[in-house]
Amino acid sequence: MGNTHTPNQIVAANIRAEMGRHRITQSTVAAHLGISQPALSGRLSGRTSIDVDDLFAISELIGVAPADLLTPAAASSPGAAGGPAVPSG
């Protein structure tokens, strides 16, 4: 079988891609969510689930519709999982 990703991994990859496109740091997103940068890192790596409230807050911050972060097609676009790393500071 090919690469199968969980919905949480797809959402995390889409968020990382959008953060990179908009040059938004993990620190900025973490502050917006009221969590630590290491806690956000766990979510963006797919180790920790992203809840619906956080999904909506992140989509608002980066200026995309929450639904845009759910589709696998967005995760495979340039700058997603294999793209440039998002600065943590």
Domain ranges of the chain: 7-74
Question: What pLDDT, on the 0 to 100 scale, is given for residue 62?
Answer: 95
**How large a percentage of the chain has pLDDT more than 90?**
69
Q: pLDDT under 70 in the chain at which residues?
A: 1-3, 73-89
Write down the residue that tokens 């600065």 correspond to.
87
Question: What pLDDT, on the 0 to 100 scale, is given for residue 46?
Answer: 85
CA–CA distances in Å: residue 53 to residues 50, 58, 66, 78, 85? 8, 9, 10, 26, 25
- Euclidean distance between CA atoms 51 and 86, whole angstroms: 21
pLDDT in tens, 35-51: 999 999 999 998 899 99
Q: Which of 15, 21, 23 is nearest to 78 (CA)?
A: 21
Question: What pLDDT, on the 0 to 100 scale, is given for residue 84?
Answer: 43
Question: What pLDDT, on the 0 to 100 scale, is given for residue 81?
Answer: 42
Q: Class of 7-74 per CATH? A: mainly alpha
- Euclidean distance between CA atoms 37 and 12, whole angstroms: 15
Question: What pLDDT, on the 0 to 100 scale, is given for residue 33?
Answer: 97
- Euclidean distance between CA atoms 59 and 68, whole angstroms: 9
